[in-house]
Amino acid sequence: MIKTGSKHIETLKDGRQVYINGRLAGDVTEHPAFRWTVQSTGMLYDFQASPDNRELMTFEVPDGGGERANRIWQLPHSYQDLVERRTALEAWTELHCGFLGRAPDHVASCIAGMYMGIEVFKAYDGARAGAIADYYRFARDNELYLTYVIINPQADRSKAANEQLDPFLTAGVVDQDSEGITIRGAKMLATGSIVANEVLVTCIQPLREGDERYAVSFAVPMNAKGMKVLSRKSYEESATSIFDNPLASRFDENDAVLYFDDVKVPWERVFVNQDIAMCQKQFHATPAHVYQNYQAQIRLMVKMRFLVGIAKRIAETNGVISLGNAWYARRSKHHGGRPRPFHGGERPDAGQLFHSRRPHIVFRAGADPATLCAGHGGTTRTGWRGTNHAAFVRLRLRQQRVARFDRQDAAIARHVFGGPRKILQARLGCSRLGIRLTPHTIRNVLCRRDFRDQGTQLSHV
């Protein structure tokens, strides 16, 4: 049975101990700091449950008797599997414009990656390998919304975790027996924990010798006995309306610190127990870290498209959408019909490589900036693939140029300000107003249509 929004929201009414503004929040589905974000996560599950999205969002579970699960749990066996999963994740992310950084697909990707690297766990401990395999299937079949806490609380950075004044400032093993381990201390940063079902607790930071008690990996429900969720202040709570605050009012994930007050974790939910090397291997010797970052890049691709769309709409509304092209055409006019050279050399033809001042970054003319993110070819040292976005490349190159007064810039400045002394005065006045006056600023002013219409002709530029 595919999870719906209402079913997910019901699972959040589980008595979890969430504190905000110094008080116990109670039912998070009704609290003014969380309720609209809760509804936004419900929207994700309603989208996947729609019959129209069955093939897009779900896949048939192997050996599952025809049961289907969300593609966030899909284990790719081919390029086509990757494409289908990426398309699903992209469609889901578009519902929140990429602003839910810990939507259900992120930590699901991490757990799926660990399961894909099951041989690493088997080499470490057969029982722990069985635990991660069982948990992957349990989370997949029950469509759990997972978050994680993988870094330690801020403390004295000159000391290791075991050297702190309180040895249990960081969550670690305080006891273990035949039933499991007992955890005491704090972990962060539980983004999305308010709307999640369970949390993966581990450490991605390097640990030193003596930190073994903190080198653990396990999963517990958000209502685990003894676990407290300490939420930061809510942006949603201070949002006046969806109209005035369309993003903060609906997509505030409320980062939190989790405190474990002697929380008992059964062995079937323990994946790593007090082993520093394996704590790192679970991420970097398996596909876990790559797979979760693959999801993150898909999300950032969608978010970038959203932000570029807003910028374009603003430029169209303000009537400045064509100013950049006019300025570029003016620069080209007086160089024999060719664009002014970049970085002291001729501008390559379309299809040749553009190199920024950062030697490890390579841009290709006629490229789609969306391919910065995985799922559309990825970013490599050999360039991008996509459709024509040469203007985007030129913009990036201009942004990375060092602003300088060459002969043309000086000519423009003299024409507008009357000489170097006036330039200095203008710059001083602008700086007091928080405005950075550069030759590029001057040229952009001169390219405005209303300025040119006043009869000012810069034939020497």
pLDDT, mean of residues 84-94: 96
Give the containing element (helix H, strand E) for 97.
none
Q: 205 and 124 share a domain?
A: yes
The residues, ordered by sequence, that sit 6+ positions from 254 with a Cβ below 8 Å of its Cβ are: 20, 33, 34, 37, 191, 192, 193, 194, 231, 232, 234, 236
Q: What is the mean pLDDT of the chain?
A: 79
Q: 337 and 221 share a domain?
A: no
CATH no. for residue 178? Answer: 2.40.110.10
Q: 68 and 99 share a domain?
A: yes
Q: 342 and 265 share a domain?
A: no
**pTM exceeds 0.95, yes or no:** no
Residue ending a domain, among 299, 329, 353, is 299
Question: Do residues 226 and 13 lie in contact, with contact meaning Cβ atoms separated by under 8 Å?
Answer: no
Nearest-5° angle of CA 360, CA 366, CA 371?
Answer: 60
Q: 437 and 288 share a domain?
A: no
The residues, ordered by sequence, that sit 6+ positions from 179 with a Cβ below 8 Å of its Cβ are: 264, 266, 267
Residue range of the domain that includes 390: 319-453
Q: 323 and 397 share a domain?
A: yes
Q: What is the DSSP letter of 170?
A: B
Looking at residue 321, its pLDDT comes to 79
Structure tokens at 149: 């806490």
Q: 115 and 205 share a domain?
A: yes
Per residue in 31-85, pLDDT (tens digit) is: 999 999 999 999 999 999 999 999 999 999 988 788 999 999 999 999 999 999 9
Task: Annotate 213-236 with DSSP letters as a single string.
Answer: GG-EEEEEETT-TTEEEEEPPPHH
Q: 395 and 349 share a domain?
A: yes
Per residue in 168-196, pLDDT (tens digit) is: 999 999 999 999 999 999 999 999 999 99
Looking at residue 331, its pLDDT comes to 54
Q: 98 and 231 share a domain?
A: yes
Q: 72 and 197 share a domain?
A: yes
Is residue 181 situated within a structural domain?
Answer: yes
Residue ending a domain, among 299, 334, 359, is 299
Is residue 137 situated within a structural domain?
Answer: yes
Is residue 305 situated within a structural domain?
Answer: no
Is residue 228 situated within a structural domain?
Answer: yes
342 or 302: whose pLDDT is higher? Answer: 302
Structure tokens at 14: 């589980």
Is residue 28 situated within a structural domain?
Answer: yes
> What is the count of structural domains for the chain?
2
Is residue 461 situated within a structural domain?
Answer: no
Is residue 69 situated within a structural domain?
Answer: yes
pLDDT, mean of residues 350-370: 35
> What residues does 345 pair with on adjacent strands?
342
Bond from prior residue into 189 cis (ω within 30 degrees of 0): yes
Is residue 308 situated within a structural domain?
Answer: no
Question: Do residues 218 and 265 lie in contact, with contact meaning Cβ atoms separated by under 8 Å?
Answer: yes
Q: 382 and 416 share a domain?
A: yes
Q: Amino acid identity of 305? A: R
Query: pLDDT confidence of 320, banded at 50, 70, 90?
Result: confident
Q: 413 and 269 share a domain?
A: no
Residue ending a domain, among 299, 329, 360, is 299
